[in-house]
Amino acid sequence: MSILKFPYGTGRIFSSTIYLIIFILSFLFSFGSSISNAEPVQFFGYFRSELTASDSESTGFMILNRLRLDFETSLSRKLYLAGNFNLIFYGGDDEGNFLNNIPDSISGSVPSGLRNSFRYSFDDDMEWDNIFFQYRFERFDLTVGKQQINFGSGYAWNPTDVFNVKSLIDPGEEKSGHKALRIDYPLSLSSRFLFLYDLEDKYDDPGVLLQYKTNLGHFDYSITFADRYLYRVDHNSFSTLRYRRKMAGLSVVGEAFGLGVWFEGAYNWIDGNDNFYEFVVGWNYTWQNSFYLLVEYFHSTQGYSDSGNYDLNGWMRFISGEISSLSRDNLYLYCSYPWNDLTTVGLAVASSISDGSMVLIPTVEYSLFNDIYLEFFGAVNTGDEGTLFSRELGNGVLAKLTWYF
């Protein structure tokens, strides 16, 4: 169990800033009504219970309970403070082995004496998922603290996002906050400049991200450059590899011929390793009867063009979220339809074009009461042995019950 831990060194100033924010927040809770120009603290959030069931060897039955408490307040006309605190509790099969999520043809090569090194467990936790303040200067906004950082126009994949990797089961799932200093500088009504000083991975290895965003006609354009360190684990030697990564990317989103369309691509220079590029292109459309369809294609030269080239490191990096896909060419399709006022049904299909496998993801969202929602996600793998979505990896279901308050 961890509660807001920070290392020393160059991160000491940043740590002090976070603790100062917490002190101010505590002061507000006690004396907020007496602070001149300060607004009352607003509280909101949700309680969610998630049930995961699978017929694989890795996870049989697990429950995750999450209480998220958000707060926000304006300390003055220009100073804004916000964040959220999470309490997380697990039950059921909260332990497993990553090797059970990998085809036997690869996991079977791991010596028996090393197999326990691939075990994992989910521990109850308390965490500040986000906590930051924002000061609105006359010409720009400054945001400091643990905050949401999301980039890109893609739905299932985002090549220009160097901070997050999405889940194909639920790409819209909320992301964890990242520790950073951010400056948003408006250049005009339709364009802005963003500077991000990243302290996410290692305080001794800060990163920098620059982005220019503008609008031309029916399209929004974003040009992004990032320079930060990339950490990867070699699961054959259990050593951590450190590379300097530079990324240049372009994101475009807009409307053409009645369709919502987008493109997002990035080239990455990796010191001492192979450079790679990724891009995603997609479109969506909603018919008059509210039937919705989204199609997205993703290409990554980090991925393999043949399942025969899949290896232990590739599988582990995909499972752990270090890479977006194990295969080179991928397709994602999602459709939904409001069955009635309370129920929306959908189907997602994630496919590896490279190895011919796919996973079917049926979805159902049902509104039980006001602010109480029930969601179901299935996962049915259909691929041959050794492929990305192989039948041998099993099938599963995820159910979420959420109460928003």
Percentage of residues of the chain with pLDDT beyond 90: 65
Give tens-digit pLDDT for 157-206.
999 999 998 989 889 888 889 999 999 999 999 999 999 998 765 555 67
Helix (H), strand (E), coil (C) string for the chain: CCCCCCCCHHHHHHHHHHHHHHHHHHHHHHHHHHCCCCCCCEEEEEEEEEEEEECCCCCCEEEEEEEEEEEEEECCCCEEEEEEEEEEEEEECCEEEHHHHCCHHHHCCCCHHHHHHHEEECCCEEEEEEEEEEEECCCCEEEEEEECCCCCCCCCCCCCCCCCCCCCCCCCCCCCCEEEEEEEEECCCCCEEEEEEECCCCCCCCEEEEEEEEEECCEEEEEEEEEEEEEEEECCCCEEEEEEEEEEEEEEEEEECCEEEEEEEEEEEECCCCCEEEEEEEEEEECCCCCEEEEEEEEECCCECCHHHCCHHHHHHHHCCCCCCCECEEEEEEEEEECCCCEEEEEEEEEECCCCEEEEEEEEEEEEECCEEEEEEEEEECECCCCCCEHHHCCEEEEEEEEEC
User: Domain segments of the chain: what residues?
Assistant: 9-404
Q: According to the model, what pLDDT value does residue 37 have?
A: 64
Average pLDDT, integer, range 217-240 = 89
pTM of the model: 0.87
Domain boundaries 9-404, corresponding CATH code: 2.40.160.100
Q: According to the model, what pLDDT value does residue 59 have?
A: 60
Q: According to the model, what pLDDT value does residue 205 have?
A: 65
Q: According to the model, what pLDDT value does residue 23 have?
A: 52
Q: According to the model, what pLDDT value does residue 180 have?
A: 92
Give tens-digit pLDDT for 73-117.
998 889 999 999 999 999 998 888 889 889 888 998 898 888 898
Q: According to the model, what pLDDT value does residue 27 have?
A: 52
Q: According to the model, what pLDDT value does residue 9 have?
A: 40
